[in-house]
Amino acid sequence: MDEPGGSFSFAHGARKVAPFSIAVFGFGMSFGVLARPTMGTVAPIVMSLTTFAGSAQFASASILGTGGTLAAAVIAAILLNARYGPIGVAVAPSLIGPWWSRFLRAQLVVDETWALSADGRGGHDPRLIVGAGLVLYAAWVTGTAAGVLFGDLLGDPARLGLDAAFPALFLALLVPNLDRPQARVAAILGAAIALALTPIAPAGVPIVAAGLACLVGWRRS
Amino acid sequence: MSAAWWLVALVGVATIAIKGAGPVLLGGKPLPPRIGRIIGLLAPALLAALVAISTFGGDRALVLDERAAGVGAAAVAVALKAPPLLVVVVAAVVTAATRTLV
């Protein structure tokens, strides 16, 4: 490996992401509880193993659970995950090596690992993505399994306030990204677009549209 | 194959393809400066949108419920430079307490 960053970055990434992994475990548990009545015991766990994208899994499982069609569930998931297209472009310059290695490490890129691995100059520490990504992946899959298997004992995850853990986690990730005026404009614009479209557009569309707020970077700040 | 397994298969393949596309096609090459600058603002734009939607988003509606109290408390914790774990715990505890008390 001839990538920048010392070998300690794996462990560094794992340590940095540890606080977030507890919230992700809780979110995985909520997904397991929600998905089990419609998807059974095994399918939600396999989905977390293969998809590793919480909000899309949550949305598509709940669409299926409330009587929506398979097509509607799949389209919502694709719309919610569409942001990983441009996010992939953002991390691409930092991922070097053979294509299969770039492909595998790209699967560990989720909102949290992408935000935490940013070096503030547009680059991303690839070792941090892997270290942090593996910890979050383990938390997500074991959380899902715990929700599917022990969800009955837990009761409603909302009762424990776990539904607010998620926005709080994103808030903790957002604040270090607000160091420049242009970034603050993009954040306000992104939130405004998302809120404005939520009542009128299907799940996923508001997130994709909010991503367009990054076009304020067209002009040099 | 049941609808649940079709969902697992289709969403899985689509997500893996979306995540892999950028790094496989563009990996290791620097982006042009303007594109780099725009992509660099994707983090604040998307994270702020995720905060907003997961706080106020309902089923095709904006709702003001106990989550807002929890996220408000989390914002205070962030402003006081609390570590992320504490921020998340504060949000969950305040939301659960508001839900029980109000």
A1: in domain? no
pLDDT in tens, chain A (221 residues): 434 445 568 888 888 888 888 888 988 888 898 899 889 999 999 999 999 998 889 888 888 887 778 998 898 888 889 889 999 999 999 999 999 999 999 999 999 899 888 887 778 999 999 999 999 999 999 999 999 998 888 777 778 888 888 789 889 889 988 989 999 999 999 999 999 999 998 878 888 899 999 999 998 76
Q: Both tokens of residue A153? A: 């004992």
Separation CA B56–CA B68 (nearest Å) = 7
A122: in domain? yes
A196 contact B CB<8A: no
Range of the domain at A210: 178-221
Q: Which residues 23-42 on chain B approach chain A with CB closer than 8 angstroms? A: 23-31, 34-42
Give the single-character DSSP code of A2. -
Q: A143 with A184, same domain? A: no
- Taking only Cα atoms into account, the Rg of chain A, rounded to an integer number of angstroms, comes to 18
Is A38 in Cβ contact with B23 (below 8 Å)?
no
Q: What is the distance of C-alpha A95 from the center of its chain?
A: 19
ipTM of the complex: 0.88
Give B22's contacts in chain A (Cβ within 8 Å): 85-92, 106
Q: Name residue, tokens 């899985």.
A: B12
Overall domain count for chain A: 2
Range of the domain at B11: 1-30
A212: in domain? yes
The identity of residue A63, as a single letter, is: I
A173: in domain? no
Give the single-character DSSP code of A203. T
Q: A22 with A128, same domain? A: yes
A175 contact B CB<8A: yes
